[in-house]
Structure 1
Amino acid sequence: MTVDIGRDPVTNKRKQKELSGFKTKREAEKAAAALITEVEEGTFVQEKNVTFGDFVKTWLETYKKSGVKMSTIRVREHESGRLTKYFENMKMKDITHKMYQDAINDLKTNGRLSHNTISGVHSTGKMIFSKAVELKVIKADPTQFAKLPRKLTTVEELEQEEEVVKYLEKGELALLLKTAQEQGFQQDYPIFLILAYSGMRAGELCALRWSDLDMDEHTISITKTYYNPSNRAQEFYLLTPKTKRSKRKIDVEPIVIEALKQHRTWQKELMMKYRKTYYKGDFVFTRTDPLNVGYPIYIRTIENHMRRLLKLAGLNESLTPHSLRHTHTSLLAEASVGLQEIMERLGHKDDNTTRNVYLHVTKEKKKEASQKFGELMRSI
């Protein structure tokens, strides 16, 4: 059965759509009537034959020009690539809701991806198909109403779960810093001191320049973060902070300023030694190998050095530089600093982990206050 769907706006020739594959004449007539209604109401979409793989390539090129950060683009490329494995050569219009849901489920069962990873893939999928609907490549969005698979936790598993506190206690932090000062590599002590005393992210520390420091006012301005997807020292990028609130100025203790001054003295000697090749980027913490001297230090280097120090100190080796951010939170909470002030210092509006660490510490302090009050009353 053939249905007239209007005229081509360029050639003014009549356009027709062939309907086929129906078991009965009545089914064909119902489909034709529905199509005519769509044409008359202006809701008809002439779906195109573009494949998923080709559409994603076009979408990514447009997405790159939308002003998003390079790191975000890289994430979208990676996530769309996971969907491309399922749909690359399929026409966009042929991808059904069930096909999409099956792909999402397969990422969990066979891909063994985490819930957060699958959630990211799904977010990218929604962006792709939403754009396809907007451009009238497809009529319906197969991602609509798709559900993310979740692992069902039994009561027994929930009861057996142990809370893993990903931060150092005050005495443990002191031991880590002492180990860094006495057994660490050249830049270890000021690196881990500043991470612990400021709560900044490792990427923010790698991007830190001397011009960001005010030695007189004892402040550090955090305005950028380090990004190096290729892991080549000279191919790094300085990006805007993670969020708008990540741009901030924080006060630090005199001990941090003093350590930075001593570090600066050592760095000047390094600059003189390699004065012909030293990369003059004004970075506070840099690589020291002759070929890349002066370029920002790798985040991975900081992680490796921390693992070494934790082992030397006999501390939990699973902790990371980000754990020092949580350590900073716990110590501020112990010092009775409010959650809002801590959030502002860390540079984010809200964060469940930070909130949980804060509540954990303050809960213990409340218990301690109650115990002290009880002891006081018993002494009367």
Structure 2
Amino acid sequence: MHCKELIRGKKWVCVADGPKDPVTGERNQVSRRAKTKAMAMEKVRVAIDQLKKTGINQKLVKNIKFSELATLWLEDYKLTGIKNSTFNTRVSEVKLLNTFIGQMPITTIELRHYQTLINSLFKKGYKPSSLRNFNATANMIFNFAVRNKLLPVNPTQGMFIPKKIKTVEEIEKEVIPDKFFERHELEEFLMTATKHGLLYDMEFFHLGAFGGFRSGEICALKWTDVNFEANTVRITKSIYSPTNNMRVYEITPPKTYNSIREVTMDPGIMDMLMKHKIDQDYLKRQFSGDPNYVDHNFVFCRPTTGHPYLSGFFGGRMERLMKKSAITKHASPHLLRHTHVSMLTEAGADLNYIMDRVGHKDAKVTRDVYTHVSKGMKKTISDNLHQQFGDIISNSISERNAEEM
């Protein structure tokens, strides 16, 4: 430790080497000033002891802004093997965080600052699911700071996601069936797809309804995923294109690990796929000599180029078909996924089996649809119970009335 008298009899400064900088590994000198040499030396010892316990040099990190910390985290996060689509989502969430706390030194951010931020987003109309994703990003950034000895604790710990209390009117207006097709609607939609659909509409939408697959999973299907002998379709991937360009896309792992699954299909759907494959093979032969044709073995590909379709394409196709039907529900291929949940529920499948089949670890809509359909089934069971045994009650009442007369 080196000490120097700055002002005779009034001020001393002492300097000593502390633990190396946790981020750069560079030499880390700790200096403190006091009225006496002994006091300055004691301040240096206390500061170094604190550094050894927490690894945090407040003087070095006090000027690091949140935006700088987030940039460091993104550099590491990109190397964790996450999909580009996920990374791009995190980048968007970081941009939003930066608009609120980007210029704040990380050592000054406290729980109250962060909770105020979450509350303000809630008041602006952000959905709880969006807030949870937003908070997940912030949480990872602050945990990165703690791991790298830039902060002693994560300031997001203890925060909560605000919840809106629904009014009676809102509860009464909430219609779960709008999230899936009723049986007659499904039949009408698929008949419309068969009669008025464009190329691949019939096959795509039947596969969605009877397989419960996500659009991206169907678009990424290859013929090697289809087992005609076992009547199964295996889901191992999805498709992603940030520019919605059929020539610029990525084949990525599915949404979650639980999304990797093998689904047993109805033989009628497999027959439909087999006919589709025969027709597709014929088209491939017509373009086999075209240098612009690429054959990547996709189940659904453009007939003249071989490039895969993207999820949004069939969303537009579905809107077209809905207009040709009498169905008034909002058109979305995801509607078929929810419909598959309702079909499985009516078929007697329990919730765990359904979630395994559609590749969900936890999903509110799946539970909502299952619960709603289950309630309808309970009503049917109750009606059947009355039809089978209601005469017992009637006879008892008639007997009592006869005795009272």
TM-score (norm 2): 0.81
- 1:215 is aligned to 228
| Cα separation, partners in 2 of 1:33 and 1:299, compared to 1, 3 Å | same
- The Cα shift of 1:378 comes to 4.2
Greater shift in the superposed pair: 93-102 or 234-243 = 93-102
Identity between Structure 1 and Structure 2 (%): 32
CA shift, 1:140, in A, is 4.3
CA RMSD of aligned residues (A): 2.9
Deviation at 1:33, TM superposition (A): 11
Is 1:364 matched with 2:379?
no
Amino acid at match of 1:261: M
- 1:172 aligns to 2:172 (yes or no): no
Match of 2:137 in 1: 124
For 1:277-296, list aligned pairs within 5 A.
Answer: 277-288=292-303, 290=304, 293-296=305-308
- 1:227 aligned residue: 240
Q: Distance in 2 between matches of 1:56 and 1:2?
A: 38
Kept after mapping to 1: 8 A contact 2:216/2:311? yes
Structure 1 residues without counterparts, runs of 5 or longer: 20-27
Q: Which residue pairs with 2:17 in the alignment?
A: 7
Residue type of the partner of 2:137? Answer: T
Query: What is the match of residue 42 of structure 1?
Result: 53
Cα 1:239–1:97, aligned 2, differ >3 Å: closer, same or farther?
Answer: same
Q: Which residue of 1 aligns with 2:70?
A: 56
Aligned partners of 1:310, 1:134: CA distance in 2, in Å? 52
In the TM superposition, residue 298 of structure 1 has moved relative to its aligned partner by 1.2
Task: Report whether the alignment pairs 1:341 with 2:381.
Answer: no
Distance 1:33 1:150, change over 3 A: farther
* 1:26-105 matched pairs, under 5 angstroms: 39=50, 42-43=53-54, 45-47=56-58, 48=61, 49-105=63-119
Amino acid at match of 2:99: K
Q: Which residue of 1 aligns with 2:195?
A: 182
* 3-state DSSP of counterpart to 2:245: coil
C-alpha separation between the residues in 2 aligned to 1:153 and 1:18? 59
2:254 counterpart residue number: 241
> How far apart are the structure 2 equivalents of 1:366 and 1:95?
52
Q: Deviations over 1:285-314 (max 9, x none)?
A: 1134x5xx2111110011111121122111
Counterpart of 2:215 in structure 1 is: 202
Where do residues 136-151 of structure 1 align in structure 2 (5 Å cutoff)?
Answer: 136-151=149-164
CA deviation profile, 1:310-349 (whole Å, cap 9, x unmatched) = 2211113414211111111111221223333322221234
**Contact map agreement 2:14 2:44 (CA 8 A) in 1:** no
Quick check: 1:204–1:225 contact (8 Å CA) kept in 2? Answer: yes
Q: 1:244 to 1:163 in 2, by over 3 A?
A: same
1:257 corresponding residue in structure 2? 270
- CA distance, structure 2, for counterparts of residue 300 and residue 237 of structure 1: 15
Distance 1:38 1:152, change over 3 A: farther
- Counterpart among 312, 321, 341 of residue 329 in structure 1: 341
Show the counterpart of 2:8.
none
Counting matched residue pairs gives: 365
1:59 aligned partner, one-letter code: W
Q: Which residue of 2 aligns with 1:22?
A: none
How far, CA to CA, are the matches of 2:128 and 2:12 in structure 1?
47
The structural deviation recorded for 1:135 is 1.4
Report if aligned partners of 2:54, 2:152 keep a CA contact under 8 Å in 1: no
Extract unaligned runs of 5+ from structure 2. Answer: 1-10, 21-25, 393-405
1: CA distance between counterparts of 2:353 and 2:29? 67
Q: What is the Cα deviation at residue 158 of structure 1? A: 4.8
Measure, in 2, the Cα distance between the counterparts of 1:163 and 1:207. Answer: 32
Alpha-carbon distance in structure 1 between the residues aligned to 2:361 and 2:140:
25
Matched, 1:16 2:16: no
Query: What is aligned with 1:298?
Result: 310
Structure 1 pair 4–274 and aligned structure 2 pair: CA distance change class (3 A) = farther
Cα distance, 1:39 vs structure 2: 2.9
Give how far 1:82 is off: 0.7
How far, CA to CA, are the matches of 2:19 and 2:57 in structure 1?
A: 13
Distance 2:200 2:51 in 1: 72
Aligned residue identity for 1:7 = D
Residue among 355, 373, 376 paired with 2:388: 376
Please give the alpha-carbon distance, in whole angstroms, between the structure 2 residues aligned to 1:128 and 1:15: 27
Residue of structure 2 equivalent to 1:351:
363
- Partner Cα distance (1:284, 1:223) in 2: 14
Contact persistence 1:198–1:250 (CA under 8 A): yes
Q: What SS is found at the alignment partner of 2:239?
A: strand
Deviation at 1:106, TM superposition (A): 2.8
Report how far residue 38 of structure 1 moved. Answer: 5.5
